[in-house]
Chains A and B, each alone.
Chain A
Amino acid sequence: EVQLVESGGGLVQPGSPLKLSCAASGFTFSSNWLNWIRQAPGKGLEWVASINPDGSSTYYPDTVKGRFVVSKDNAKNTGYLQMNNLRSEDTAMYYCEIPGYNFDYWGQGVMVTVSS
């Protein structure tokens, strides 16, 4: 059974760091890209990071570039999103996604709230 389980969310103060994890099972994690997508409360979907299968290339939109770092540990079947210098506008549900040739897996999401 395929599972993606995000963890690491919570309430943090502006300017703080936070690291999210995405634990994968039931498929070959090392062969696939990993995306992080977020959704602010009551708002639409926003792509925030991508990493290629072997972890050698990463991509970000301008809104998080320089603050967020995506990584993956294929030995542990786990992906990560290190978020630095968090802002109130980063408050959102964060999802990890594994897009495949004939599948598309999503986690249940983890909530991040940035507030003083």
Chain B
Amino acid sequence: DIQMTQSPPSLSASLGDKVTITCQASQNINKYIAWYQQKPGKAPRLLIRYTSTLESGTPSRFSGSGSGRDYSFSISNVESEDIASYYCLQYVNLNTFGAGTKLELK
């Protein structure tokens, strides 16, 4: 089974900051990684698939990159509506979520 190590578990940012979350897979996942946003009491929302493809409706301040085992997700110019938890997901071999990152306002 593929394991996903996501860091950091929590992140504190000011409005307008750039933040970055990383996920490392236990093996090469060939860019088959997605990133989800989840707000309290809500279902997750897919933001990015296949490393860097933004879903329709995802603001351009969100971005993803990486290859092999190492991937990152960034939010430039954090806005108040971005306060949420974020999860990576590998889907090259079944599905495995990262443990999540909670983004809070400083």
Contacts and interface: CB of A to CB of B under 8 A. Distances in A.
Contact residue range for chain B? 20 to 34
Contacts of B1: 61-62
Interface stretch (B10-18, B63-71, B73-81, B90-98): B90-98
Interface in B48-106: 49, 55-56, 85, 87, 89, 94-100
A70 B49 CA distance: 24
Interface of B: 1, 36, 38, 43-46, 49, 55-56, 85, 87, 89, 94-100
Given A44-B85, A61-B94, A109-B43, 6 more contacts: A35-B95, A44-B100, A45-B38, A45-B89, A47-B96, A61-B1
Interface of A: 35, 37, 44-47, 50, 59, 61-62, 95, 102-104, 106-109
